[in-house]
Amino acid sequence: MPLIKFKPTTPTRRFGNVSSFSDLTSRKPYKPLTEIKKRTGGRNAHGHITSYHRGGGHKRRIRLVDFKRATHGSEATVQSVEYDPNRTTWLALIAYPNGEKSYILAPDGLKVGHTVASGESVEVKIGNHLPLRNIPEGTPIHNVELEPGQGGKLVRSAGSLARILAKENEFAHIKLPSGEVRMINLDAYATVGQCSNMDHENLMFGKAGRKRWLGVRPNTRGVAMNPVDHPLGGGEGKSSGGRHPCNAWGKLAKGFKTRRRKKRSNRFIVKRRNA
């Protein structure tokens, strides 16, 4: 999808651009498949801030996306391709012959009027949802399940795709967008195609106000603070902090592993993303 570049009438317009939204066919969501999104402002039940730099932003409604695609053996017709403020890829509203409707992640190339289906014996084409054992090696996929029946968990952001490198015993070797190669059960489902809105990575906000529209508040650097407020604060002139990067309470931020030890998950990693 093309991006609209502004004329440099102001400093913020000089570098900013927006998506043309030319792929979208509907301006409003299907109301029965939405619900109000309540905001916390980064605060927990006690009113203490636990996630920083959050607050404000435009009101949103949550689109109830069907990641499981559990209606098998029935073709659904794409009725519209829509914007979702809660994610980077577009959504497709599909309707089944019995009148049931649902939202799915829209793969690149899916248009209004196309038909999609899910199940073990469906055709390998864009938008169809089927087990990994029935998808040929090298096929681009997204919305991949970690475990069979769990619903899609991996590869769901704009422009992302994974590929099946090989199939061995009861597992498929999947190369994820991060470069990690992971073993996933062949009975797990995935959707054929690449996630839409591939130009998202080329978006330039151009001004701080666009981040505020998204609910992101300003972030003050630790080295710009006073010593009473942050371990990196103080010093004469511009200083680099004088110690390893850390948070306001001295917890180190770089140079050590932060991944939790998930024995069930780690053993399925064939090649790490930073190997």
What are the tens digits of pLDDT across the range 186-224? 999 999 999 999 999 999 999 999 999 999 999 999 999
Chain centre distance of CA 130: 21
Identify the H or E element spanning 264. Answer: helix 263-266
Output the CA–CA distances (angstroms, integers) from residue 70 to 26, 103, 149, 186, in the order listed.
25, 13, 9, 17
pLDDT tens per residue, range 54-104: 999 999 999 999 999 999 989 999 999 999 999 999 999 999 999 999 999
Instruction: Domain 24-201: give its CATH superfamily.
Output: Nucleic acid-binding proteins (2.40.50.140)
Enter the tokens of residue 209.
């106000």
- The residue ranges of every structural domain in the chain are 24-201, 222-269
CATH 1.20.120.1200 fits 222-269, yes or no: no
pLDDT value of position 1: 64
Amino acid at 118: S
- How far CA 26 is from CA of 79, 84, 112, in Å, comes to 9, 11, 11
Q: Is residue 105 a contact partner of residue 65, using CB atoms and an 8 Å limit?
A: yes
Per-residue pLDDT tens digits for 94-107: 999 999 999 999 99
Give pLDDT tens digits for 12-70. 899 999 999 999 999 999 999 999 999 999 999 999 999 999 999 999 999 999 999 99
